[in-house]
Amino acid sequence: MATIEDLRQVVSETQTEPAVVMTRELLAAGVDPMEILEQGVMFGLNDVGNRFAAKKAIVLDLVRAGVTAKACIPIIEEALPKGESPRNNKKIVLGTLLSQHNIGKNLVGTLLSIGGFEVVDMGEKNTPWDFYETAEQSGADMIAVSVVFAPALEKFAELLDLLKEMKVRDKFPVIVGGGVTTQKWADEEGADGWGAQAKDGVDLARRILQVA
Ligand code: B12
């Protein structure tokens, strides 16, 4: 039977079909879906990212890695325990700032929904103004931002400045995460919370919005 290490390997090689088959196999064998996601799919994606950074992979490899991950993730999401949390009346606006990378954002959205929150998914390539406008128009309780590549880092500072300028900084707590962010950076920027993993988004939202 395939192991999580095998799954990581085929994701790293961007072999979509074998990755899908192994994901199914691991789930059928009772392996924890979050473990499959984090140690199989995400580690494999990281391998591709590291090769790209070392100039041993090209953009097409990133595209293929994205396709492979996106084929496995819905199968894993299906297997996540659902309906454990009652619906709460808290609404969270979620999107990526600038970037096209939406795999992490989508995971955050799925887990927030499973966690009982209403998610307003703004999709990709948003500007600070998009976040502000959507939060106002939807009557959001919180903004969750996914920052996956470096140019978005300074845009995050712009978002917080914009919220201050519009006098809604207290109205919309802002949480952030994503591959290029760190706790230290988020603290320095003045974010209300930072998470390394998608599941941290749920803990942060519960704590900040005081939901049981
Ligand atoms: C797949 C991929 C792509 C795909 C994305 C497909 C898609 N639909 O998402 C495509 C081909 C589009 C792509 C394009 C590019 N990419 Co790219 N890509 C990747 C890759 C390999 C994986 C990204 C990913 O999905 N990771 C898995 C997810 C689950 O991780 P994540 O987003 O970080 O999310 C997790 C946590 O961070 C957290 N999280 C995320 N958001 C949030 C939010 C909150 C509130 C919380 C609490 C938590 C949280 O939860 C998630 C799960 O636990 C990474 C390498 C890597 N190591 O990540 C490079 C990477 C991100 N890409 C990179 C680059 C440079 C690019 C391009 C500029 C390449 C180019 N020259 O064109 C373009 C940019 C396009 C654009 N305008 O956005 C760089 C960024 C470097 C940097 N410092 O800026 C990376 C790091 C590769 C590298 N090592 O150089 N890419």
120-152 pLDDT per residue, tens: 999 999 999 999 999 999 999 999 999 999 999
The atom number, within ligand 1, closest to the CA of 147 reads 41
What is the CATH number that goes with domain 91-208? 3.40.50.280
The model's pTM is: 0.95
What are the structural domain ranges in the chain? 4-79, 91-208
What stretch of H or E contains 119?
Answer: strand 118-121
Q: Is 152 helix (H, G, I), strand (E, B) or coil?
A: helix
147-195 pLDDT per residue, tens: 999 999 999 999 999 999 999 999 999 999 999 999 999 999 999 999 9
Residue 24 sits at the vertex; the CA angle it makes with 56 and 110, to the nearest 5 degrees, is 80
Residue 37 sits at the vertex; the CA angle it makes with 206 and 181, to the nearest 5 degrees, is 60
Nearest Cα neighbor of 12 from 69, 60, 58, 54 is 69
- Residue 84: what pLDDT? 64
CATH architecture, range 4-79: Orthogonal Bundle (1.10)
13-50 pLDDT per residue, tens: 999 999 999 999 999 999 999 999 999 999 999 999 99
- The angle that helices 59-79 and 43-53 make with each other, rounded to 10 degrees, is 170
Ligand 1 centre from 178 Cα, in Å? 8
- In percent, the amount of the chain with pLDDT more than 70 equals 99
- Residue 82: what pLDDT? 75
Protein residue whose Cα sits closest to atom 86 of ligand 1: 49
Protein residue whose Cα sits closest to atom 71 of ligand 1: 59
80-115 pLDDT per residue, tens: 887 667 889 999 999 999 999 999 999 999 999 989
Pocket of ligand 1 (CB under 6 A): 42, 45-46, 48-49, 52-53, 59, 62-63, 65-66, 99-105, 107-108, 144, 146, 148-150, 175-180, 195, 197-198, 200-201
- Residue 1: what pLDDT? 86
- Residue 86: what pLDDT? 80
**Same-fold call for 4-79 versus 91-208:** no
User: What is the helix, strand, coil percentage profile of the chain, to 5?
Assistant: 55, 10, 30
- Residue 83: what pLDDT? 65
